[in-house]
Structure 1
Amino acid sequence: MLHSKARLPLIASLSVTAFLLCLFMLGVLVHRVDASPGALQDPKQANRAFSVVTTSEFTPTHWVYLPLTARGQAVQTFGYGIQVNSAGDASANIGHIKTLGFGWMKAQVPWKNVEPNPGDYRWDAWDQLIGAYHAEGIKTLVSIVKAPNWARPSNTNFSVEGPPADPATYASFVGQFSGRYCGKVQAIEVWSEQNIFYEWGGEPLDAARYVSLLRAAYLAIKSACPSISVVSGAPTPTGAGAPVAIDDVVYLQQMYQAGLRNYCDAIGAHPYGYNNPPDARLGYTDPADPSYKNHRSFFFRETLEAYRTVMVSFGDANKRIWPTEFGWPSTIYPEPGYEYAYSNTLAEQAQYSVMAYQMAQAWGWIGPMFLWNLDFGVTEPWSTLAYWSLLRPDPVPAYAALAAMPK
């Protein structure tokens, strides 16, 4: 806790107004605003016109205190982004992102590769990558994942990725990362898809344990670079149960119950649409392919609206959701388990991608969105990841559609 008793005698003699002003300038006191009933209605009541919540719809209610570490200016605006392969051609990808008219890129940082041994940092590749995008004015979100074996529990399942035994080791790494790239990296997503076993070491899925990790990371990041926005790790959309996974909406509720609200600037989400249009809801049918229609998690819109409802219910309506991955795959030769990708034509992939950006921008409670992905069709053309790629290696129709999309 950063509030020192030594400060109290100094401010005791100030007037109430001056006291409040001092706290506000220090970043300790902020004026909380709660949305009016109209602005906080269940998002599922929004019609196809996609009503927008504006600042005029908010009314102040009371003062709340925030830690000094939260003084950084979080990104609270919409943005256009896309995931790149960090091993790809950065120069070419920068050109593509500019052609698309996007302002953000996302890359995944495997902690285990950067710090393979305690204190042994391998920064060179990231210095070059992050420096290149920064030099061209492209903002960067990184998702920091995959603990090195030395930091993981000794009895964990090392055949899958997982978290550290001690959150302090992760906090130390993200703190080093934040200090090194302060001013060049605008946002950090703390872990990813922690509600599914193969991203959590096969260990018991535990939202409270994740929030402990998030808390340690948040404090370290804000201490090293207050301007970096901290995004909570996006759960994977799922209706599966333990021990394989926890329903992502249930998991989000559990994260809030464990204190999520206090340790992030934005809520991460992965609202994949499978083979359903972005404006479709549960109950949508397609006689040509009835698969992937029987649960909320298969629908882009349903997932985002469900998250928004949870946020509102926990009094966190002023934060934005960042879709740190989303998209629609398309291929004529799907691997087993990806048959739904055959249902999406390349034209539909283009249409759905554009529609998703436009819908989300109109809602008014979505932050930067990151389409999955730009270049895995170039770097890993044999992989199922290529089904989503805009480059294979030539641009697919979604590339031109997104470049032409008004922004």
Structure 2
Amino acid sequence: MTTQIQRTQRQQRQLRGFIVVWIGITFLIAIATFVGIYVGTGELETGTATASENAAQEVPLSQNQEIERDYSASAENSTRSNAPESSVADPASDNSFQAEANDTEETGDEQSEPAALDQQSSTEPEDEANNPLAAGSGGAAGPALQEDPTPTPQPEPTLPPIDDREFDLGIQITPNFQNDPQIMDGYMDAAANQLNLNWVKLQVRWEFAEPEPGVYDWDRLGYDLFFQKASEKNLKVLISVVSAPDWARQPGVNLEQHGPPANNQDLATFIGNMISRYPGQIHAVEVWNEMNLAREWTSTGGLSAADYVEMVSTVAGTIRFIDPNVIIVSGALAPTGVNNEIAIDDFIYTDQLIAAGLLDHVDCFGAHHNGYNIGPNVPWDQVPNDPTAVFRGPFDNPNHSWSFYSTLNTYANKIQAAGSDVPLCVTEFGWAVTEDLTPRELLPIQNFEFAEDNTLIEQREYLVEAIQLMEEWDFVWLAFIWNLNFGPESNWDISREYRDNIPYSLIRPNYVPAPVWSAITDMNFRGRPR
């Protein structure tokens, strides 16, 4: 009996112990569950807040549209096997179009005996031109910032262009006459973000922009879009204003040739209105172009440096009244050794300009030189003979007009001798190449045999050396490569008289960049402190 009772009591104690242990374990599990939920909820809230902060702080990078395409596709259409290894343009099929190209817009260096007068190294279409270049849309959002980001340093204030006297480089761009924003954006992106340049040049044809007195057509040649896209890319713009409209010309003058206005104030008013239309977007003005040639200065008074200085004086006064920060550049002369009714030797004309007081009215002396078939470091009287050269001008008829080196250094010496420190602005320079052009693209290019002597590799070497020399000389302020984008526009009407802009283009036919492209990129003018 006693044993049975003891056994029962022992079982009860065991049961009570089990219950106590079970309750304890249950209690511990409950506590652990509560703590887990609390901690987990806190982490979730913290993570959500962090993600929200990062999303709010995410800063998109600026859109850097690349106009690049696969080289192999371009090379299939290329006529030569030594084409560059990459391309800079992506022609979109839906942007292709056909348009007419009329007479020449800008004329370049003049050849004759010894410097030829028929070369037009800077021709542009006066109206629409076929330009199928389309920029590839890119742009990417930047990575999310950290919780405690380092404050973004603010850029140092930059000098206005007129006070920034460091050498700088730009390139001439023809507008997209189709007024396609994507194409124009691609051109500007190529200049700013691929070639790393700060400046672009635009030739403005007054005759089309003001066809009647006080009636303006800024869209005919795409000027509004040009300035919009240049401004978006933070590019400075030099405009070169040429070609008076018929209504502004002198009575009885030959209207078949370009020439100055009868009243210089008409030109000053036009330029003033343009500066007012694009405030803060025009940083330099080149007043006229190659006025030592009759085809650019057909006037009842003939070729006259004194008349030109009167024009500059009037225009400069208006520009400085509206925006004193605009750089005033004299019209660049055409290098030529000719002296007759159709041309004046540019060295003689320079002396006449200085004597007439030009240097008192301008901030920069305009110059052109497209280097024919010799390098930029060769003086005109030290050209080594090249028996393989097709074009014999520099070798058989020595003259200063053939030489990049002699032309620019002589201008600078004449200015210095006059007691002035006005620098040069080389508003056009380049070397023509035809080795990668098809017969259709070459036809008809007249008096361009020198381009047959240059290769794309030589073009790269000459351009790079010219840029380095101008920076070393310290008398060149601005220099503009001729040109960016005529190569892709080789689908113009082949009946046009001159197609001599294509051989200079840095974007070659089939949207392939010239070999010099990467060399200019590496110079990184855009990244230099100013």
TM-score normalised over the length of structure 1:
0.79
Q: How does 1:142-161 map to 2 (within 5 A)?
A: 142-161=239-258
For 1:50, the equivalent position in structure 2 comes to: none
Q: 2:184 aligns with which of 90, 105, 110?
A: 90
For 1:222, the equivalent position in structure 2 comes to: 320
Post-superposition offset of 1:155: 1.4
For 2:338, the equivalent position in structure 1 comes to: 240
The question of 1:284 aligning with 2:417 is answered: no
Instruction: Render the CA deviation track for 1:306-349: whole Å, top value 9, x for unaligned.
Output: 100110011112x2101000000000466330000000001000
Instruction: Render the CA deviation track for 1:266-297: whole Å, top value 9, x for unaligned.
Output: 01000221111010111212222262211111
The question of 1:336 aligning with 2:446 is answered: yes
Residues 325/72 of structure 1: CA separation in 2 closer, same or farther (3 Å cut): closer
The question of 1:397 aligning with 2:515 is answered: yes
Give the 3-state SS of the residue equivalent to 2:265 in structure 1.
helix
For 1:306, the equivalent position in structure 2 comes to: 410
Q: 1:114 aligns with which of 185, 209, 213?
A: 209
Worse-superposed segment, 207-216 or 371-380: 371-380
For 1:316, the equivalent position in structure 2 comes to: 420
Post-superposition offset of 1:152: 0.4
Post-superposition offset of 1:167: 0.7
CA distance in 2, matches of 1:103, 1:231: 18
Post-superposition offset of 1:127: 2.5
The question of 1:354 aligning with 2:448 is answered: no
Post-superposition offset of 1:384: 1.5
Q: Are the counterparts in 2 of residues 176 and 224 from structure 1 also a CA contact under 8 Å? A: no
Post-superposition offset of 1:223: 0.8
Q: How does 1:93-104 map to 2 (within 5 A)?
A: 93-97=187-191, 98-104=193-199
Post-superposition offset of 1:305: 0.2
Residues 181/259 of structure 1: CA separation in 2 closer, same or farther (3 Å cut): same
Bigger radius of gyration: 2
Identity %: 35
Q: AA paired with 1:108?
A: Q
Post-superposition offset of 1:224: 1.0
Q: Where do 5+ consecutive residues of structure 2 fail to align? A: 1-159, 178-182, 493-498, 526-530
The question of 1:76 aligning with 2:186 is answered: no
CA distance in 2, matches of 1:326, 1:228: 22
What is the alpha-carbon root mean square deviation over aligned residues?
Answer: 1.8
Post-superposition offset of 1:161: 1.1
The question of 1:295 aligning with 2:411 is answered: no
For 2:129, the equivalent position in structure 1 comes to: none
Q: Are the counterparts in 2 of residues 160 and 202 from structure 1 also a CA contact under 8 Å? A: no
Post-superposition offset of 1:74: 4.8
CA distance in 2, matches of 1:351, 1:205: 36
Post-superposition offset of 1:368: 1.5
Q: AA paired with 1:91?
A: D
Regions of 4+ moved over 3 Å: 71-75
Give the 3-state SS of the residue equivalent to 2:292 in structure 1.
coil
TM-score normalised over the length of structure 2:
0.61
Q: Where do 5+ consecutive residues of structure 1 fail to align? A: 1-70
For 1:197, the equivalent position in structure 2 comes to: 294
The question of 1:388 aligning with 2:504 is answered: yes
For 1:376, the equivalent position in structure 2 comes to: 486
Alignment: residue pair count: 336
Post-superposition offset of 1:166: 1.2
Give the 3-state SS of the residue equivalent to 2:286 in structure 1.
strand
CA distance in 1, matches of 2:344, 2:252: 22
The question of 1:266 aligning with 2:360 is answered: no
Q: Are the counterparts in 1 of residues 210 and 216 from structure 2 also a CA contact under 8 Å? A: yes
For 1:12, the equivalent position in structure 2 comes to: none
Q: Are the counterparts in 2 of residues 237 and 270 from structure 1 also a CA contact under 8 Å? A: yes
Give the 3-state SS of the residue equivalent to 2:170 in structure 1.
strand
Post-superposition offset of 1:394: 1.7
Q: AA paired with 1:397?
A: P
CA distance in 2, matches of 1:325, 1:254: 22
Q: AA paired with 1:292?
A: G
CA distance in 1, matches of 2:446, 2:299: 23
